[in-house]
Amino acid sequence: MTGSPLRSLTIAVDGFGAISALLLAPSQMRACFVFAHGAGAGMTHGFMTGVAESLAAHGVATLRFQFPYMEKGSKRPDPPALAQAAVRAAVAEAARLYPDLPLIAGGKSFGGRMTSQAQSVRPLPRVAGLAFFGFPLHPAGKPSVSRAEHLDAIAVPMLFLQGTRDKLADIALLEPVVRRLGPLATLHAIDQADHGFHVPARSGRNDQAVITELTAAFAAWLDGVILARES
């Protein structure tokens, strides 16, 4: 735990209404991360909370939010247009709250993909980079790179945090995608982690150790890529 205050917010989304959000802001902030959840669990999932708390220790505020379907209690993810509208609304709220901080957008799995799609259609205002916690490159058992085609239209730095046992992103397929994207893309592979960033017990690590590695990699990328570009 960081001891940072957690604030509950509501955000208006065009074509839907209001969605819930959570803001975790440390006293000393270097950036704000607009952090979208995955398809199967909302913003209060343990992984989302753990990452937010660990990022706070690195001086990064997080704005988590519910996609409209999750707000309604549905299990069926929103159509891309509505999901992207939710991302835009959350980014706009972060920009309003922190007009002088660099903004990073992205998320876990589905949330990261919806963020990247939104960015590829029309750049998200004031977003300096995108961070993906488990980019879902393809459905399980159906290896492909078609879901990465839109990434070529993105002109801000991208961080891919990916498990080497992720069944939704064969690392052997993701690595060439990252190389194709050139200097804008950074890949940090988590050894033996699956799509949920769980590792086998025999690895000698637990979920918290993985979160610590994930957020340290995020902080290093923030310092070496995002803040370095803005200085």
What beta strand segments (E) does 85-214 contain?
Answer: 103-108, 127-133, 158-163, 185-190
Q: What is the mean predicted confidence (pLDDT) over 89-97?
A: 98
pLDDT at 143: 94
- For the chain, domain boundaries: 6-230
pLDDT at 230: 74
The two tokens of residue 141 are: 């058992």
Query: Is domain 6-230 annotated with CATH 3.30.420.40?
Result: no
Helix (H, G, I), strand (E, B) or coil at 209: helix
CB 147, CB 80: distance < 8 Å:
no
Q: What digits encode the pLDDT tens for the residues 211-226? A: 999 999 999 999 999 9
Assess whether pLDDT exceeds 70 at residue 2: no
Give the integer Cα–Cα distance in Å for 21 and 19: 7
φ and ψ of 142, to 5 deg: -130, 70
Q: What is the pTM of this model?
A: 0.96
Q: What digits encode the pLDDT tens for the residues 106-141? A: 999 999 999 999 999 999 999 999 999 999 999 999
pLDDT at 231: 65
pLDDT at 164: 97
Parallel/antiparallel/unpaired status of strands 17-24 and 60-65 = antiparallel
Q: What is the mean predicted confidence (pLDDT) over 180-189?
A: 98
pLDDT at 85: 97
Q: Mean pLDDT score of the chain, rounded to an integer?
A: 96
For residue 3, what pLDDT band results from cuts at 50, 70 and 90? low
